[in-house]
């Protein structure tokens, strides 16, 4: 089996999770991660996880002063890699692209970048084959990934005519202490549509979709209410079965105590999931409502981890390590332990 060398540029919320996921893949080797600040995350990366850490050339001294072993510069890391996963802050990826181009390396970007950073915007259940062999692939953001998993599942089974969705966004990730709101509901923005629907269209261009987003004071997960019109009338059972059988989607029962995003996270903690991550899209079973060709449901998105499986698949698509979506999904989901919830 070919084993490809993967570098992860940026070791924040997404980067640290993708790096770890890479180490679990039989066809990938993590050759290093990069950081710009010598903080506790850098200490964990090197001393606890044993990753090779690469830093900007002008930061080497600062890291060494902090007692953190540096393996080289970011340029050197990119040089050594077969492919780079760019998990730098939104907008930085476009700047780093110059380096990837210069070194002749393919790269995976995140949804914080504009769509034109890459040859294709990507979500495994929607357009895996379109991304095959593409040099630059952009994995769409957490909310868009959540929407697309459900939409493309229904699209494949029944066809989808239109989608209207309300995105109730979490205010901040758990460690972000400078973001809000603390006590308000914030239209994000008031002028519609929100960017999420537009971002969905970077993957499924012909879809009639409008999204409206608000930000609310919570850190755990986003919640969406989705109002869809399908290409034909369906039964509730058909829709439930489609979601149930889809990869990376789990159904939870309010009646079993999943009364809020906090219950989903509590279960993930009780199940011993690392960092309480829930990379699956979570749909409340009771919320699935069907009237003819209309389907409405509520879903929760764990913003920190949902894009991790798609990043792994994007690596396989770019380097043609798997020709069919089901082949990468099988390996990714097995190694990450997906759909083993309740």
| Residue 341 interacts with its own copies (CB under 8 A): yes or no | no
* Region 55-114 residues binding its own copies, contact defined as CB under 8 A: none
| Residues labelled catalytic | 142
CA-wise closest residue to 284 among 260, 248, 309: 260
The interface region with its own copies, picked from 127-135, 145-153, 165-173, 331-339 by CB under 8 A, is 165-173
**Structure token pair of residue 31:** 């050759």
Count of residues touching its own copies (by CB under 8 A): 43
Residue identified by tokens 């990379």 is 279
Q: Does 296 bind its own copies (CB under 8 A)?
A: yes
Q: With helix as H, strand as E and coil as C, how does 98-151 read?
A: HHHHHCCCCEEECCCCCHHHCCEEECHHHHCHHHCCCCEEEECCHHHHHHHHHH
The verdict on 335 binding its own copies (CB under 8 A) reads no
190 binds its own copies (CB under 8 A): yes
Nearer of residues 97 and 170 to its own copies, judged by Cβ? 170
- Residue 207 Ramachandran class (φ > 0 left, ψ -120 to 50 alpha, else beta): beta
Question: Of 204 and 288, which CB lies nearer to its own copies in the complex structure?
Answer: 288
Among 71, 94, 115, 186, binds its own copies (CB under 8 A): 186
DSSP lists the bridge partners of residue 301 as 222
Provide, rounded to whole angstroms, the least separation between the CB of residue 320 and its own copies.
Answer: 40
Q: Find out whether the peptide bond into 280 is cis, omega within 30 degrees of 0.
A: no
Query: Among candidates 84, 87, 68, which has minimal Cα distance to 76?
Result: 84
The binder of its own copies chosen from 185, 231, 271, 342 (CB under 8 A): 185
Phi, psi of 133 (to 5 degrees): 75, 0
CB 279: neighbour CB atoms within 10 A? 23
| Footprint of its own copies on 191-210 (CB under 8 A) | 191-193, 210
Interface ranges with its own copies (CB under 8 A): 164, 166, 168, 170, 181, 183-187, 189-193, 210, 212, 214, 216-223, 225, 227, 254, 258-263, 284-287, 289, 296, 298, 300
């Amino acid at each position: 089996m070919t084993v490809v060398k993967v570098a992860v540029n940026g070791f924040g919320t997404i980067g640290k999770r993708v790096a770890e996921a890479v180490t679990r893949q039989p066809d990938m080797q993590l050759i290093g991660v990069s950081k710009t600040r010598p903080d506790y995350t850098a200490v964990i990366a090197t001393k606890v996880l044993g990753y090779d850490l690469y830093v900007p050339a002008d930061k080497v001294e600062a890291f060494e002063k902090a007692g953190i072993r540096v393996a080289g510069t970011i340029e050197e890391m990119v040089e050594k890699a077969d492919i780079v996963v760019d998990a730098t802050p939104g907008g930085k990826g476009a700047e780093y692209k110059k380096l990837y181009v210069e070194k002749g390396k393919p790269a995976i970007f995140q949804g914080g970048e504009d769509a034109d950073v890459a040859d294709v915007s990507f979500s495994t259940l929607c357009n895996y084959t379109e991304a095959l062999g593409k040099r630059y692939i952009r994995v769409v953001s957490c909310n868009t990934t959540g929407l697309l998993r459900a939409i493309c599942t229904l699209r494949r089974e029944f066809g989808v005519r239109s989608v209207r969705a309300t995105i109730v966004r979490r205010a901040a990730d758990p460690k972000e202490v400078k973001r809000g709101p603390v006590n308000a509901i914030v239209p994000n923005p008031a002028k519609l549509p929100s960017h999420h629907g537009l971002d969905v269209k970077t993957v499924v261009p012909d879809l009639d979709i409008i999204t409206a987003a608000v930000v609310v004071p919570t850190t755990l997960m986003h919640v969406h209410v989705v109002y869809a019109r399908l290409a034909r009338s369906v039964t509730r059972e058909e829709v439930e079965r489609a979601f149930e059988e889809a990869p990376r989607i789990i159904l939870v029962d309010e009646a079993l105590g999943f009364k809020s995003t906090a219950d989903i996270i509590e279960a993930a903690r009780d199940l011993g999931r690392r960092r309480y991550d829930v990379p699956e899209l979570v749909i409340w079973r009771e919320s699935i409502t069907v009237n003819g060709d209309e389907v409405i449901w509520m879903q929760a998105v764990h913003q920190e981890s949902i894009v991790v499986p798609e990043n792994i698949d994007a690596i396989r698509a770019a380097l043609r390590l798997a020709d069919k979506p089901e082949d990468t999904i099988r390996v990714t989901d097995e190694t990450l332990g997906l759909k083993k919830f309740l």
